[in-house]
Amino acid sequence: MLLRYQQSHVITVSKKHIQSLVITVIAFVIVSFVVIAMLTTAGNYSRFASTAVHDFTSTLQSELFIHVIGTENRHYLEAAPEMSTPSLSSVALELATQVNLEDPRTFLGRELPGFEVFDDTIVVAGEGTDLTTMSIESSPPPDAFIDQEDDKGEQKEVRPSLSHEDALVHIVHTHNREAFHPYSGGENYATEQNIVEVGKEIGRHLDEAGIPVDVNEDDIHGMLIDRGLHFSRSYDVSRDVVVDAKNKNDNLEFFIDVHRDSQPHDITTATINGEAWQERFLLGTDHPDYERNKALATELHYRLEDEYPGLSRGVLERGGAGTNGVFNQDLSPNAMLIEMGGIDNTFDELNRSAEAFATIVETYIYEQLEEEEGE
């Protein structure tokens, strides 16, 4: 009898080998996701362009860049001695998660619908300005365009306009139907007694001071309707208005877009010498030369603070997704957007703010003209 013996083989795998295998698989999965993410989010960047660097670093704290440069040139750090050195852990956290521990908006800002309205950056904080009092723009109700289309055939009262062929200042109202509740029956938009009246008041004071001004009273809201455009295209239409004015008049140097805020009366109003008034500057950051507009707005803010402490609510920056981000300020370094009061203010309060603003602008313009003559 032939007996067969079967020999069994036992393969032993060490615990370390299993751990290394698991780590390798996990690392491979992570690297795969990273590579896929880079390929799908690369956009049209065919090379290491400055735009790619800008997009990558735009969410980082500006203090980080100052300290990086300061390691080579100590003068940068001496210019801002109050700045604290960003910690490596906070920078790493911000790069990985885009969460800034010093800014609570970054925790839920991308998850909550409509939270981007608080995404503005406070350049200069006026009295009472913080994250809870940021500027809010009110959109027209859904039936706004329908209602106005029914009224297009009606005759409108022709009001005298303030316009000079050799104007130095151009005033426009991108949201020309922005209304005030004391006069609009609680409506946010109206065809009369709206923000245009405030722009005309600014123009009147500049004109009386000897500065030729062109106050545009075009119904930009109506032009949107005629062209079948959405309300978000308002700045495209007002841009055509401003460009047309520039083409017709080479003397134009200063461009003011007048708006009103949608915050309530207690936020948009300050009491100065027993009277109520307030205003704020808004900057668009999505164009290369916005720093020049920023310098102008900041200068006018401080001048207002010197003459009327508490009048200016400060200077805000707005840009990125979900907003225009330019506000036609790329057309001139002397272009500005100013919000005069809010939705609950009265014309008595608004006119006081308009006069104060016009006085500051008048002084600034005359100083600039004197400097040009002296060169």
Question: Does the pLDDT value for residue 269 go beyond 70?
Answer: yes
Continuous H helices in 125-264: 144-150, 181-184, 195-208, 220-227, 234-248
Measured CA to CA, the distance from residue 331 to residue 328 in angstroms comes to 6
Residue 24 covered by a domain: no
Q: What is the pLDDT of residue 372?
A: 79
Instruction: Yes or no: say if 324 and 235 are a contact pair by the CB < 8 Å rule.
Output: yes
pLDDT at residue 189 above 60?
A: yes
Domain contains 190? yes
Query: Number of structural domains, the chain?
Result: 2
Instruction: Name the token pair of 56.
Output: 């990558």
Look at residue 40 and tell me if it is in a domain: no
Instruction: For residue 343, give the 3-state DSSP assignment.
Output: coil
CA distance 223 to 234: 9
Same-domain check for residues 58 and 182 = no
Share of the chain above pLDDT 90, in %: 39
The reported pTM is 0.67
**283: helix, strand or coil:** strand
Q: Which residue has the higher pLDDT, 302 or 112?
A: 302
Same domain (yes/no): 98, 202: no
**What's residue 270's pLDDT?**
76
Residues 96 and 219 in one domain: no
Q: Give the closest residue to 189 by CA, choosing from 133, 134, 234, 157.
A: 234
Residue 247 DSSP class: H
* SS3 state of residue 359: helix
- Give yes or no: residues 285 and 363 share one domain: yes
Residue bearing tokens 């993410």: 37
- What six digits make up the tokens of 43? 């956009």
Rounded to the nearest integer, the mean pLDDT of the chain is 77
Q: Locate tokens 């039936």: which residue?
A: 143
Neighbouring residues of 260: CB distance < 8 A, sequence distance ≥ 6: 178, 180, 195, 198, 339, 340, 341, 342, 343, 345, 350
| CB neighbour list of residue 367: distance below 8 Å, 6 or more residues apart | none
What's the CATH code of the domain at 243? 3.40.630.40
Angstrom CA distances, 54 to 60, 94, 287, 366, stand at 10, 15, 13, 38
214 CB-contact burial (10 Å; exposed 0-12 / middle 13-18 / buried 19+): buried
Instruction: Provide the domain limits for residue 197.
Output: 144-151+161-374
Report residue 185 as tokens: 């029956």
Q: Which of 308, 309, 364 is nearest to 336 (CA)?
A: 364
Residue-wise pLDDT for 356-371, tens only, equals 999 999 999 999 988 8
pLDDT at 159 over 50: no
pLDDT digits (tens, 9 = 90+) for 5-16: 455 555 565 777
Average pLDDT over residues 175-187: 93
Q: Is residue 289 part of a domain?
A: yes
Q: How far apart are CA 375 and CA 370, in angstroms?
A: 9
Task: State the Cα–Cα distance between residues 124 and 240, nearest whole angstrom.
Answer: 30
